[in-house]
Structure 1
């Protein structure tokens, strides 16, 4: 069934009810099934779906409150599945809680760099550089990396590494000044003798010219800028988004654009092509991990019907991905396949572009509130 037919059928289903009556209907139907384990879960993109900048969009606070009980406990499992980041998940959860007026836990926040945790055992004690806006070194440190330095601090150790530095009017705050609990200066790192083993692009870089220059220095010399050519250290990107939505009317260039710039310059100035690994949506592994996390947020019904350790948890019948980017959110859900169902909102990147023809959603709606209403009407009927 096409998304237009689905939308038509859904509207016919709720047409006799106004907004207030429909909300009461949803609460009544879902509470009548309180003894049953929810058979669905929801993953929300953030930028362009829940927020534009720091402003809620599309009735997102109202929509999300429908997923909670009257006492504030979670009734239906959901997570935020974002390619964004730059700050620890706990801090992002706190910000979302304040902006949306809800109780969001850190475990409900899956960011583009969250999969970097999987690489701790490989680089735990090795020198790594973390790049991007926010607090990239703090993020990596909290994941368990013990020898991490931000690209801001790393570049500051090398005199004249950035030839444009004298012309830059801004000053970059280091993680040490942003968060006094994180001391990036200790233990002391001798950047002139200790090779960088890996560079992690944690979030969107701020100073593209400097970061491209410094990363090329690191990657071409085997981790010791200013030295001879060496084996390229590992390079990881938290996502490969070309564009994303902010408060500005048109899309802004994202980490994928920075990756293209870095790769193009590296390949023109080095005899080997750049090697790298990208995480984030639309990779199916991100959606499969989200399913595991959603299982942990299924409300516990009773001892007999639901195992507290989730070892015997029943699989979800449907998982909904609500996003605004056809090439990222919708493509990822469709490629992952069952039980994912994709819902595209018109509040972000997608505004009727041709890329929807390439990555068609199962359903297209105007706002996230409309998407949640559709889900609850379908699941709680």
Structure 2
């Protein structure tokens, strides 16, 4: 991934991602019917599904294979969004959470993992394939002296050995406790009860999901997201050790890994429904320019780069083996982004809310299209694809 993400991001390459070849591309006839295999819609935000579900069913009410993405909600189970949407046609397999691609990290599933976040993080980790999981809560009970925020903790026997990896699913409930205990694990090389003479470096590998600095809830102003928590952890580690905190992989928007995984699932769903034609175009709908739009445009650059590399290498494109050709970004005005009708500032002056490991490319913040809401986004895609 690091090879093709260079224009807009620095992404560390994991072995599974470098070998992974998913998705297909080619040509397919334009037909006046609901979404078919030639072009697919991907939605960032579970609430959006309720607005457009009726447009994506046939006369019998059968689901036509759209791929919704439940953006930043990495603290819930995949079945949760599909139930909350009140759209019975949406199955858990059609919902991508920020941590969903971690199930492909099978080479790490047998390691002892410290997992941080809120909600059913232990169940999420097990569902992803990780066998040995320890939560922050379990760690603080096993080592109560580590958490000076709450001295009421009762000591319990430690049921786990040294940690091998750290998984950060999302922002925790008590940031100070999680920051302290994660730092303890990193500084002790996975043995929080030990006292080392030197700080180990490189530190234990970290997998981080969901990099949104801010997100929009019911409040009038955006809330701190997991990206803000990561910023705190990075700052603390740098201040204490003088070295940079490193990530084995960053998962979730705008990471190309997530978009690649979404394309892979889209292709799987198309094949299950008997659609043989390759997928040529992807449409990504979101409300956050810094994550949804940035990520979609970054992935579009990857698709274009992959095509150019094939041409330069003199390889014959196979409709069955090639990837999609484009990913158009559609920005809606119902979330973080608000279109007030005034002249926008120059993108060069925009404060970059993306993660530290993603280089700022102002051009990637420019959406292919801007519409009022997700219903308008669906209609726009219908129009571009000549669907009635």
TM-score band by shorter chain is 0.7 to 0.9
Correspondence 1:1-381 to 2 at 5 A: 33=33, 37-46=36-45, 50-51=46-47, 60-80=49-69, 82-96=71-85, 98=86, 101-122=87-108, 124-166=109-151, 190-191=159-160, 194-229=161-196, 231=200, 232-276=203-247, 277-298=249-270, 306=275, 313-337=276-300, 338-352=325-339, 354=345, 358=362, 359-379=365-385, 380-381=387-388
Structure 1: stretches of 5+ with no match in the other structure: 1-29, 52-56, 169-184, 307-312
RMSD: 2.7
Aligned-pair distance for 1:81? 5.0
Equivalent pair of 2:82/2:88 in contact (CA under 8 Å)? no
Equivalent residue of 2:145, what SS?
Answer: coil
Structure 2: stretches of 5+ with no match in the other structure: 1-29, 301-324, 351-361
Aligned-pair distance for 1:208? 0.4
CA distance in 1, matches of 2:77, 2:283: 25
Deviates further, 369-378 or 340-349: 369-378
Aligned-pair distance for 1:316? 2.1
CA distance in 1, matches of 2:239, 2:272: 56
Structure exhibiting the larger radius of gyration computed from Cα positions: 1
CA distance in 1, matches of 2:252, 2:32: 38
CA distance in 2, matches of 1:298, 1:350: 32
TM-score, normalised via structure 1 length: 0.74
TM-score, normalised via structure 2 length: 0.72
CA distance in 2, matches of 1:76, 1:108: 8
Equivalent pair of 1:330/1:360 in contact (CA under 8 Å)? yes
Aligned residue pair count = 308
CA distance in 2, matches of 1:125, 1:300: 30
CA distance in 2, matches of 1:147, 1:80: 28
Aligned-pair distance for 1:83? 3.0
Change (3 A) 1:69 1:300: farther
Equivalent pair of 1:323/1:344 in contact (CA under 8 Å)? yes
Aligned-pair distance for 1:269? 1.2
